[in-house]
A = this chain, B = another copy of it.
């Protein structure tokens, strides 16, 4: 599969027109990152824009005390604007991107990015929409952390992580890192869920036995 094919398919998913595709084809470079690898982070500051072609990146922020919280996820066809932000701001930040699957991305040098933004309306729309979505995502995180109740947030997250399936492969620590809380707290709440027969637990795995009840809990404002 050539770079051309990649950018073709990438543009297919993000619905960018041919003109943009042509520009990207000449300027873009392909980078890969194995599952579990750090795509970007405090040590690993990127100098290019990042467009995700395949895979999923988890963007999280960690505290000095070792706790962690997931900010959002970047899916295939999306751009990771946080890298841009940090690039431009040149400020210290402690957010990092982790490859949740094997990841293939298209990187675009700043000058090429500038040209595309100025010359291609569709690309510009795409970029601004990406920024907007992330801002909204972060607003949601702030709202959850500042005002949300943990049992509800955990129920929500279990349902999201399960997707269609009826189980989740994750440790209590991983769930705590999703929500920005401590493992013990997750353990307590999960035990409560178990007592109420909404889930059953085994090591590193949670089975949802009463999805309806979980949903009801998750939606109880």
A contacts, CB < 8 Å to B: 61, 63-65, 67, 69, 71, 81-82, 84-89, 91, 93-95, 114, 117-119, 121, 124, 128-129, 131-136, 138-139, 141-143, 145-147, 180, 221
Q: Quick check: A65 and B180 within 8 Å, CB to CB?
A: no
On whether the beta carbons of B145 and A146 are closer than 8 Å, the reply is yes
Q: Which residues of B contact A145 (CB under 8 A)?
A: 142, 145-146
Q: A89-B132, A118-B118, A138-B142 are in contact. List 20 more A-B contacts (CB 8 A).
A: A61-B143, A63-B146, A64-B147, A64-B221, A65-B147, A71-B139, A86-B132, A88-B128, A88-B129, A89-B129, A89-B135, A89-B136, A93-B139, A94-B143, A114-B124, A117-B118, A117-B124, A118-B121, A118-B124, A147-B180
A69 touches B142 (CB 8 A): yes
What residues on B are CB-neighbors of A143 within 8 Å? 61, 63, 94
A63 to B149, CA, bound (A): 12
Report whether over half of chain A's contact residues are helix, strand or loop; otherwise say mixed. helix
CB pair A81 B142 closer than 8 Å:
no
CA distance A135 to B131 in the complex (A): 9
Q: Is the CB of A88 within 8 A of B146?
A: no
A67 to B145, CA, bound (A): 13
Candidates B89, B132, B139; contact of A88 at CB < 8 Å: B132
Q: How long is the Cα–Cα vector from A131 to B127 in the complex, in angstroms?
A: 11
**How many angstroms from the CA of A51 to the CA of B146 in the assembled complex?**
29
Given contacts A63-B147, A118-B119, A147-B67, contact A84 B142 (CB under 8 A): no
A88 to B82, CA, bound (A): 18
- What's the minimum C-beta distance from A152 to chain B, rounded to whole angstroms? 12
Complex A-B, nearest 10 residue pairs according to Cβ-Cβ distance, in ascending order: A63-B147, A85-B132, A146-B180, A85-B135, A138-B138, A88-B132, A89-B132, A118-B118, A145-B145, A145-B146
A88 to chain B, nearest CB (A): 4
Compute how far the CA of A81 lies from the CA of B136 in the bound complex, rounded to whole angstroms. 11
Task: Give the residues in chain B near A86, CB-CB below 8 Å.
Answer: 132, 136
- State which of B118, B128, B132, B139 has its C-beta within 8 Å of the C-beta of A138: B139
